[in-house]
Amino acid sequence: MLKKKLISISILLIVLLLGGYFSDVTAWAEEYCATIEITGGHRYKALRLEPYIYNLANTDLSDLRIKDSHGENVPFFIYNSEKTTSTEREEFALKLIDSYIKDDYFYFDYTLEQAVENDTIATSLEFASPNNNFAKPVAVYGGYDNKNWTFVLSDTIYAIDTAVKLNVDFSQPQKYTHYRLELANNLEQISFSAASLVFSADTSRESYFIESLRSQFVTKEQDKTTRIIIDGLKNLRLCDITIHTKSLFKRSVSAPGGITRELYNISVNEIYLVDLSLPLHGRIAQDDTYIISIDNGDDKPISIDSLIVRYYGDELVFEGDAGEVYLLEFGADSDKTAPVYDIASYKNEILRGELDHVSMGEIVRLTEELPPTRDYKTVFNIVVVIVALVLGAVILVRLKRQ
């Protein structure tokens, strides 16, 4: 009788547990949205992300979505720097020091019109000519006097109607002070009214969007160390943190990731030496709080008035209509992957044009019910334990009867 009761109770427990664990488990996730305030008359808009977007979104921003008034996804790409190209040009006038004919070749020898102290680096030779309707193969030689010449390259110069090429571009910069131009069969009696040595280089510069914020923080003293606990930096790519203080000090300051630097605020003989910025090299803050430490040694802790944090910002660029309502949706859903839109393939063309910089309204928290989940592994482990208990009870009963 006891055996039957034990088996019945065990089966009932198994049924109840299985029913509870195999029933739908409803989870809730927090998502957020904010209205994008459209302004301007240009086709494409740029939305600069605020710090709290980074704090609430995935680290890689993979969960960001822009929706129109119909709830449809609006294609966008993420933009975080501007590239500018500038041309550096320096020109040195040349003077003709000799011209002659030898073996059917015509020679023009030039040198710098004015001597320069440093090396004259050149990327091309440029000429002016009163002649037209000609095309001539030329050879260029370089030297440091008017006696010894080194072959540089061959090229063609021409002036045919509006098509004019009277420059010779070097494959690599040259440093000669003398140049010789060799023309074959100059029956057209081509002459040059001016010649110059030119250095020209295109310089590309990439400027990142760097934003600043005055951060909230608290300090805690522990074992001769001041720990500065900063809120609101999660997922930000940090540029640097600057301490504002009136205290005079020179101490080692460290941050997560093995970053350490000596910062100081010193006054000696009415000379002030100040370096209060801790570079963070784009490190991403992983947690809700970010902690930097000051090694005080045997000195008193310094008094910190404020902290300025600089971080690398991002913009979302999308096509927007002034008559449309757009929402930015996001939430820390690690399962989401970043969308790939066609617009990213022609972003360079978009960025060459004008963008309207738009802003974002108040963030609203949404509650979303996630699909039911079942913990099968836990259920299996519980069933194994219960079966073992039942079998053990049965064995004990049989042992008592013997």
pLDDT digits (tens, 9 = 90+) for 235-259: 999 999 999 999 999 999 999 999 9
User: What does the domain layout of the chain look like in residue ranges?
Assistant: 2-25+373-401, 29-80+322-369, 86-205, 210-312
Q: Where does the pLDDT of residue 83 fall: very low under 50, low under 70, confident under 90, or very high at 90 and above? A: low
Give per-residue pLDDT as tens, 330-384. Answer: 986 778 899 999 999 999 999 999 999 999 998 898 865 444 544 545 555 665 5
> Looking at residue 15, what is its pLDDT?
44
Report yes or no: 69 and 324 within 8 Å, Cβ to Cβ: yes
Q: Where does the pLDDT of residue 219 fall: very low under 50, low under 70, confident under 90, or very high at 90 and above? A: very high
Report the sign of the C-alpha dihedral through residues 36, 42, 43, 48, in that order.
negative
Q: What single letter denotes the amino acid at residue 60?
A: D
Q: Rounded to two decimals, what is the model's pTM?
A: 0.60
Same fold, 86-205 and 210-312: yes
Q: Where does the pLDDT of residue 186 fall: very low under 50, low under 70, confident under 90, or very high at 90 and above? A: confident
**Cα 73 to Cα 53: distance, rounded to the nearest angstrom:** 18
**Cα 111 to Cα 96: distance, rounded to the nearest angstrom:** 7
Report yes or no: 286 and 230 within 8 Å, Cβ to Cβ: no
100 versus 5: which is more confidently predicted?
100
**Cα 108 to Cα 120: distance, rounded to the nearest angstrom:** 20
The CA distances from residue 46 to 35, 76, 312, 378, in Å, are 14, 9, 16, 48
Q: Where does the pLDDT of residue 28 fall: very low under 50, low under 70, confident under 90, or very high at 90 and above? A: very low
Task: Give me the numbers of helices (H) and strands (E) for the chain, helices first please.
Answer: 4, 26
Contacts of 55 (CB under 8 A, 6+ apart): 232, 233, 234, 235, 236, 288
> Looking at residue 82, what is its pLDDT?
67
The beta strand positions in 223-355, using DSSP E, are 225-231, 237-245, 249-255, 259-268, 271-275, 277-284, 289-295, 304-312, 315-319, 326-330
> Looking at residue 380, what is its pLDDT?
53
Region of poorest pLDDT, from 12-16, 37-41, 105-109, 141-145: 12-16
> Looking at residue 19, what is its pLDDT?
47
Superfamily of domain 86-205: Galactose-binding domain-like (2.60.120.260)
> Looking at residue 22, what is its pLDDT?
43
**Cα 345 to Cα 100: distance, rounded to the nearest angstrom:** 57
Structural domain 210-312, CATH architecture: Sandwich (2.60)
Average pLDDT, the chain: 86
The beta strand positions in 3-104, using DSSP E, are 28-37, 44-48, 65-67, 76-79, 81-102
| Closest of 311, 292, 314, 308 to residue 239, by C-alpha | 311
